[in-house]
Amino acid sequence: MRLGAALGLAAVLAIAGCVRQAPFALQNITGLMPTLEFHLRDGDARPVSAEDYRRKIVLLYFGYTSCPDVCPTTLAKLSQAVHNLGQQATNVRVLFVTVDPQRDTTAHLKSYASYFGPQFIGLRGDDQPLAALARRYRVTYSLDPPDRNGNYSVEHSSAVFIFDQTGRPRLLAQSTDTPTAIASDLRRLLNGK
Amino acid sequence: MKRGESNPPVTETQVAYRWCTAFQGRVKTVLESRLVDSLGYLVPWEFSPTVALSCAALVAVYVRGLRAGAQRELAPRWWRTLSFMLGVTLIYVVLQTRIDYYSQHMFWVHRLQHLILHHVSPMLIVLAVPGATLTRGLPKTWQRTLKEHTRALWWRWIIRVVQQPLVASVLFVGVIGFWLIPAIHFTAMLDVRRYRAMNWSMLIDGLLFWWLVLTPRAVQGPASIRYFYRAAMVVGVTFPQIFIGAYITLHRSVLYGVYGICGRAWAISPMLDQQLGGLLTWIPPAMMSLLGLLIVLHLMFRDLAAAERAPRAPILAAAKSAG
């Protein structure tokens, strides 16, 4: 009987433990990828690095401003999620890294990013630093062949990488995640849970 | 633009058309690029000193062994040397050229990479029966250390367990299945350490399995497995591989979302990528099994014929149990 009671207690504790550490709504990538590291230029063409965004929760997303649907939809979703955070939104930065630096000029990128909110920062880099960042997070991008008018679309990663205040990668937001889910997980990261 | 991950079912004509256009675009880009650009394809995507050094060391030791053997007229036949070199080169090519980049960003290329790492290359290396030449290529002191190690009890136990026919067969299919579990596959594609562990496990298991099945009994020694069991092993691992391949090919939704997350190397629908990858898991390994079976039968009949010709020859011990 005593053994049974002990087992029961152990089970209760195990369940309690699970409840305390409920999984994140988003995909957890803690420990799978290296710390945030990059050298790019922001909307004012100033050189910036990952160090400049430590102590903030960073959302990293690759895209381009002439992107017809996925990028604006994703950014709008992130905008809504950040908005849901209220006061805490000041501790979040969304870094929108262009994979089409040919067409996305600094000024254009700045106005495009700021349209989604003050926390949104457009980043631009030359081929090499951009490729280094993409490779670091195992994402890719490629230009499709241009059409008759010289317009072309760009294949790129659809994911949003979320880093905690120390620059460690923690979560991955995918196209199926809702703004509510993103906001609630961001709140947990902000509160250090 | 990224396509949605939940495409409606497509007809075969659409599939073929999309595949052709995607391929055409690719060929065009390849042709348009200059020589310098094409040389870029040979640059490792993620340089791995371990892979580069291992391949270089294998070739160097083998060549040393060839020289040492030539002096004593122990040279292997030319096609065995070719087979060994081809096997090692293929390993290097799929791990340390642009193919590795495509393997990370296209499911079907990833399956092709594993087909080479787990089937083609190990088979080529094992068919070369390179053990003696490699040993001869090592410095004398290393040869002694190697001999001591392989005689050690713990080493013999490990080998005895992993080379037990049933364990080896389960391991062979197991590593394929394990890394293809969607949740595991997801982390392996994001985490570079797991990615490397995955590729190494495929290669090492491939070498172990095909060595066990395809190395002649006279080389493996009296404790080697009978050809009958070897044939059963090769046939046995075929069906689970067909099942895994068919499951992936015929699955109606995207199993491996990680390629959408990381971005595909070029425009191809996620379903088509998955179906091609499934077919590569399904058909070529089944053909490799058939080839393996033919080789096992060849070895078996060769030993039987040798036993008939010289009933008192030392090969008898091996040949008697060949059936």
**pLDDT tens digits, B189-231:** 999 999 999 999 999 999 999 999 999 998 887 778 999 999 9
Nearest CA in chain B to A33: B191
Residue A155 token pair:
């294949």
**pLDDT tens digits, B138-157:** 999 999 998 888 888 888 88
pLDDT at B33 over 80: no
Q: Does residue A70 belong to the interface with chain B, where contact is any CB pair within 8 Å?
A: yes
Dihedral angle of Cα A35, A39, A41, A46, to the nearest 10 degrees: 110
Query: What is the 8-class DSSP label of residue B191?
Result: -
Q: Are the C-beta atoms of B124 and B94 separated by less than 8 Å?
A: no
Q: Which pLDDT score, from 0 to 100, does residue B8 have?
A: 55
Please give the ipTM for the structure prediction: 0.79
Of B105, B261, B266, the CB nearest to A158: B261
Chains A and B form CB pairs within 8 A to the count of 66
Q: Does residue B191 belong to the interface with chain A, where contact is any CB pair within 8 Å?
A: yes
Identify the H or E element spanning A109.
helix A106-114
pLDDT at B265 over 90: no
**pLDDT tens digits, A35-91:** 999 999 998 889 999 999 999 999 999 999 988 888 899 999 999 999 999 999 999
The residue-averaged pLDDT of B9-24 equals: 65
Q: Does residue A144 belong to the interface with chain B, where contact is any CB pair within 8 Å?
A: yes
Which residues on chain B are in Cβ contact (under 8 Å) with A135?
A: 45-46
Q: Does residue B29 belong to the interface with chain A, where contact is any CB pair within 8 Å?
A: yes
Q: Does residue B43 belong to the interface with chain A, where contact is any CB pair within 8 Å?
A: no
- pTM, rounded to two decimals: 0.82
Q: Are the C-beta atoms of B106 and B265 separated by less than 8 Å?
A: yes
Q: Does A33 contact B190 at a Cβ distance shorter than 8 Å?
A: yes
**pLDDT tens digits, A153-176:** 887 888 899 999 999 999 999 888
Q: Does A138 contact B29 at a Cβ distance shorter than 8 Å?
A: no
The residue-averaged pLDDT of B49-77 equals: 91
Establish how many alpha carbons lie within 13 A of residue A183's alpha carbon, considering only the half-sphere containing its beta carbon: 16
Which residues on chain B are in Cβ contact (under 8 Å) with A138?
A: 104, 189-190, 192, 262
The residue-averaged pLDDT of B48-73 equals: 92
